[in-house]
Structure formats: C-alpha cells, structure tokens
Amino acid sequence: MSGQNKLFTLEELNFGGVNYHSLRPQNMFLTWWGDQLIHTDVEQCSTVNPKTGRETVLFTLDDINRWAESDDIHYVRHLQSAQFPYPDQPIVAVGNKRAFMLVDFKAHKVVWQDSLSGQQANDWSSASRATAYVDNDQLFVIDAEGNKKQLTNDGSRDIVYGQSVHRDEFGITKGTFWSPDGQRLAFYRMDQSMVTDYPQVDIDPRTAELRPDKYPMAGMTSHQVTVGIYDLKTQQTVYLKTPQAPLSSPEGDTTALTQDTPVYFTNIAWSPDSKYVFMQELNRDQNDCRLVCYEAATGRFCYQLCRERSDKYVEPLHPIQFLPWNDNQFILQSQKDGYNHLYLYSIKGECIRQITSGPWVVLDVLGFNAKDHSVIIASNERHPLQRNIYAVNVDNDQRTLLDNGKGIHRAKLSASGQLFYDKWNDPTTPNVVDVTRIQKSKTSTCNLLTAPDPWAEFVQPIFESGTLKAADGSTDLYWRMVKPADFNPAKRYPTVVYVYGGPHAHNVDASWHWASRSWETYMAQKGYIVFILDNRGSENRGRDFEQATFRQLGQVEMQDQMCGVEFLRSLPFVDMDRLGVHGWSYGGFMTISLMTNYPDVFKVGVAGGPVIDWQWYEVMYGERYMDTPQQNPEGYAKCSLIPQAKNLKGKLQIIIGYNDPTVVPQHALSFIKACVEAGTQPDFFVYPGEGHNMMGHASVHLHERITQYFEDYLK
C-alpha cells in the first residue's frame, strides 16, 4: 500500500509491539564533552559543529574495543550511552552490564576500569573514581585502585541500604549521594522490619510460593530512615543525628522535633566544599518542611535554614542548587506563593529574594551559565500547555526566552551552560533537534535534525485541543479530542472518555498530536471519538489547582470530568447513548468512580489497576492527599468505592497485574466481593506475574483486550 492509506495495528502503535520503534519520530543521541557537542551513534562518536551542524568522527566502536583489547566481559556493544565525564580531558566512559571503562581516545588506551556486576544499585563518582554499590543487600565502596570496603553487615530484606526510600516519593530516585570531591558518600538506611507484609504470590513454581512485599498502608506503621556518611580517607561511617531538638532558625523559630517524630528525609545536597550535607525534613503529616544542615565529618546538626508550613501539605521535590560563581548562595524551589518558583538563599538561611514569580510554573532547573550569572530553567510561562527554555539572570531576575516559543522543549546544557541542545516538538511537528549558543541577551541556533512524519503513509486521525470551564465556573481546563480520519459531523459516534485525573500527571500538552496516546489513534481508526480532559488536581497548574482535591480524592475530579461530559453532550456528533470511560491506576479509580456515581451516563468502562479505597494505599502518597484514616474518616468513607458497588449498571471490566506492588490486588478483589454481595456484575481479567503496568508484549495484549471490550459492548 502507498500514500496515506495504511492502517495501524497495535504492533506499530503500542510500545511493546514488534514494529513500534520503526514508527517513532527520528531522533539523535547526544551528549556534551565540556562545551563540545557529541553525537553518540551505535557505531561511532562524532563531534558536532554548533554553527554548521557538521559532524567529524571522533572514534568508532571498533576503535574502542581495539584500544581496550576487549574480551567478552569488557566488550562494548554500542556507543549510544557513551559519556564524557571530564570537560577538559579526552576520556570517554563506556561499558556494558558487566564492566565499565574510561578510555583515553587520544592516547588510545584504557586509563581505568572496574568489573562490578550484578549489583542491586551502583553509583560512580567521576571525581574520585570510587564506586558505591549494593550487593546481596550490603553496601560496598570500591576505590579507584580497586580496594573494596564493606560498609554494612546487617543488610537484608528488612534493612535496606543505598537504595531509594520513602517509596520513591518526594523526588527520591536513588539511595547514594557522592560529595563533589568524591571523598564522602551519603547513603540511606531504611529499616522496614516493622512494616506489614502484603502477601503477593508467585504462581510459577510447582506449588505457588509466597513473595510478600513490604507495604505500609495509610495510617499504619511506616519504615524508619537514617542517613549515613562514609569517608573514603578515614574509612569510617557516621550517621546524621536526626531528628534533632531543638531546632533554631534565622527567624528565631525554635519549635522542636522530638526523637519520636516520624520524619521523611529527602533532597540530599552537598555543599560545594564537601563539608556539609543539606536535607529537607518533612513531618509525617507532610505540612511542616525544614531545610537543615549537618556537618559531614561528625553527623552533627548545624542549623535550620528555612521552614515552610501549610494547612494542607508541603511537597519538597528538588534539592537545593549552589551557584557555581558563589559558594555561599543557592537556589531553592518552592510553591509557597502558589506556583513553583525559584528563591535565592544564603548558605546561612537568609532569603535574599524571590527570583521568579507569576501565575506559571518552573518545571525544571537545567543548570547554570556562570559567565552570565544566570540559571537556565524550563517553564510554562508562555502557555500552561507548553514547556519553554529561559535564562534567568540571578543578579537582576531578568528572564530571556532561549527557544522559539512553541511547543515542548527538553534541553541539556553544556558544561559552561553557554550552549544547549534542544529536542522539541509541537502538535504538528514530530521532532526537531537544535543546538543553541547563548550570547548574553541573544541566541544563535543551528538545526541538527527535523524528523519527517513517521506516520506519513498511514491513515491518521484528527487531533484537536481546546478549553472548557471547570465545575467552579472560572478555571480553564484543557482537553484533547481524537476523531476518526473520515470524520463526518453529520454522523453520531461512540465516544470514550480517557481519564487519569490524579496529581503529578497531565494528559494534554502542546507536544506532537497534543500528547495523544497511541491507543487513541487505534480507537479512532475503529470509528470512535476519544476525549481527554485534565481536571483540577493534575499537575503544572499551580498549588491551589492541585490541592483542590485535598482530603476528598475523586470528588472535585468527577465534577470537572462531568463538565467535560456536558461539553460532549453539546456536540451533535457525539452519541451520548454510547459513552464509555477508561483509565489506569488513578484513572482506574476515576473510571469506577464515574461508572458508579453516574451510572446512567456511562455505558461501558474499563478500569486498570484501580484504587478502590485509599485506606489500602501506601503511607506517603495516601496521607499527603487524604491525611490518615484516623484523621479523616469522613473523607475516606466518601471516596471509597466499596459502597458504590451496588450502583453499577453498565458493563465494567476491571484489569490488574496479579502481582501489582503499587495498587495491591486487595483493591480490585474487594470491589468484586462487594459487587457479588450487591448483585452487580463486573468483568475481571488478570495478568499473572505482571506489576502495576503490563510490560513488553503483554501491553499489546492488554490494549487489544481493552479495545475489544468497547467493540463488544459500546459500538
């Protein structure tokens, strides 16, 4: 077939499909060697001229393996993940799952290597070339000369070292943190011996076996975390003396944290001189956050820098970042004025001033341009659906737009911060890669790649976006609609509302196809309209927009989603007698909420991995948004879907991973039990051995099953 007449299959559209990657927009693997841009391809690494885009081969894969005299263990199979850790040295870091090497590509030789493999976690310091790793539950450090030191002896399933804690909340993604000089290692120790086991079952053995997860449910006993500091020079470990009492701050606030106060420790950062550790400490209610300083050599508490409190919750997500031109000042991110913005602080805790402000969100801090005294950020200042790159001058707070002002931009800075490569797209542009040089108040940009439309030969649906008012009558909500390619406004179409609705996520933005999920294209190809609305409670719209759902999850979200339904009702081409709803995780919770609270509106629903009752969800996330069941019994009762089981009228399919460690199976099973008792009839399907999301080709099977359910009962 040729022209625009090919039809999609899930093998092309779904990430687990065999043809998925062939229909992704063309891209480039890039990294920085100081201020030199490097194209890291499979077979070679090339320098890229930022003015012309011209590439010059630096070395090839064959070169690396010849210089390294690679055997089977050290053989490098591709160069796409090559890194250049030293801006002023001709050294490339390469490796595989079993080995890691530094190769001098001018001297043509390996200058350092290790052969660690099979660890639970691994963290390498470019400054000292020491590696921290976890093996068989114990934390080790091996120095640049290969000398190994075992830091722990009591590591186990109950005592976890050097790995992410607090269930990956509060921006935590790992458990080890090297100091800038590479001579000290901060690490987490998590005691979860007191946490209840959730009884997961492995069905693969001849007789099914118990494989329990540690799962602290809301209101129940949580784990305890401490932070250790290992010193390579002394080979000694000290632990930070937390929590501490009393705390003193520049504002004279001496409110104490007692020794039995449960505290979350997050956003660990080092001082530039590697002598002090800064950390944000949050109480269990998550409404009182303190930025504090400890002495690394002794673990001694030094002082509190600042404190933020809220009548709802404070959510620290970002470590402080010191200015590269002033070791005594740092940037702090906070949404205390209603939007996530940047604040300039002194190392002693004086808030010098707020650097950014306005009804928009700083989405990320990409780094610094020391020459211009600027911090480079991504924000949605130009439009709530966009992500654009700005330079913010720290001396005068002036902001300069560094990109073209359109779409979604994801940039990576060079070592000096004076250049960045920019991968961007917009609703009609699949992918563009540019490199930009920052020159005071102006920029110069060179295009490296403009990807063709990989769907050009296929019949493509119609993608649209717009706004409607939330249930409060004033707040703008953004929606996306996907229509069949042969859409006829005189016809009436079955329509599916796709929903997530929860915090830290959004469905609609100004990226390619308005961020449409590929399954929506598959449904449009089969003759459906798919509608997506980001309700209040979702991300990137400010504190009050997200916190509107506090202590009553699902309620405000449903009100806003029903505003979307009323919008659909106003469209003559939407068949309101054939309205479906689908979502996963929080979206599964929303799907069943809508099906049971508005049983005469939605005919068919598919709920994946649904939360049914927040008392069965984990401590950190659940208590942030709902408080504990003991503190908020009315809210938990109001949000529970167990009493709603009797209201189910339409066809509902519930799908879960049988071994889901995030939304444990107790949720779905309890709802089904309630439906049995109430005499209502949901359908149920499980994926044995799968977690919260179906991985690999199982995802293709999943989306075919979801589609078929709507085909059977909605169309």
Strand order in the sheet with 351-354: 321-323, 326-334, 341-346, 351-354
Strand order in the sheet with 429-439: 408-413, 419-426, 429-439, 442-450
Instruction: Give the Cβ contact number of residue 480 at 10 Å.
Output: 25
The answer to whether the beta carbons of residues 463 and 523 sit under 8 Å apart is: no
692 counts as catalytic: yes
Which conformational region is residue 444 in: left (phi greater than 0), alpha (psi within -120 to 50 degrees), or beta?
A: beta
As a whole number of angstroms, the distance between CA 344 and CA 330 comes to 6
Sign for the CA dihedral angle at 33, 35, 40, 43 comes to: negative
- Please compute Rg for the chain using Cα positions: 27
| Number of Cβ within a 10 Å radius of residue 65 | 17
* Contact predicate 598/514, CB 8 Å: no
φ, ψ (nearest 5 deg) of residue 368: -130, 150
Helices and strands (DSSP H and E) totals, the chain = 10, 44
Sorted by sequence, the CB contacts under 8 Å of residue 625 that are 6+ apart come out as 313, 503, 549, 550, 551, 553
C-alpha torsion 520→605→167→344, nearest 10: 60
Task: Based on the residue annotation, tell me whether 128 is a catalytic residue of this protein.
Answer: no
With 0-12 / 13-18 / 19 or more C-beta atoms within 10 angstroms meaning exposed / middle / buried, residue 192 is buried
Sign of the four-CA dihedral 512, 517, 522, 525? negative
Q: Which residue has the tokens 């790793």?
A: 133
Which residue out of 660, 667, 699, 703 is catalytically annotated? 660
CA atoms of 636 and 620, how far apart (whole Å): 16
- Decide: 171 and 199 in contact? Cβ < 8 Å: no
| CB of 369 closer than 8 Å to CB of 348 | no
Q: Is the peptide bond before 359 cis (omega within 30 degrees of 0)?
A: no
Single-letter code of the amino acid located at 564: G
Q: Is 39 a catalytic residue?
A: no
Q: Which residue of the set 70, 585, 640, 699 is catalytic?
A: 585
Integer angstrom CA distances of residue 617 from 166, 316, 622, 628, 661: 14, 21, 6, 11, 10
Q: Which of 78, 373, 383, 692 is labelled catalytic?
A: 692
Contacts of residue 205, Cβ cutoff 8 Å, sequence gap at least 6: none
Q: Check the CA dihedral 561-567-569-573 and report its sign.
A: negative
- DSSP character for 26? P
Q: Encode 27-64: b = buried (16+ Cβ within 10 Å), e = exposed.
A: ebebbbbeebbbbbbeebbbebebeebebeebbebebb
- Which active-site residues does the annotation give? 585, 660, 692
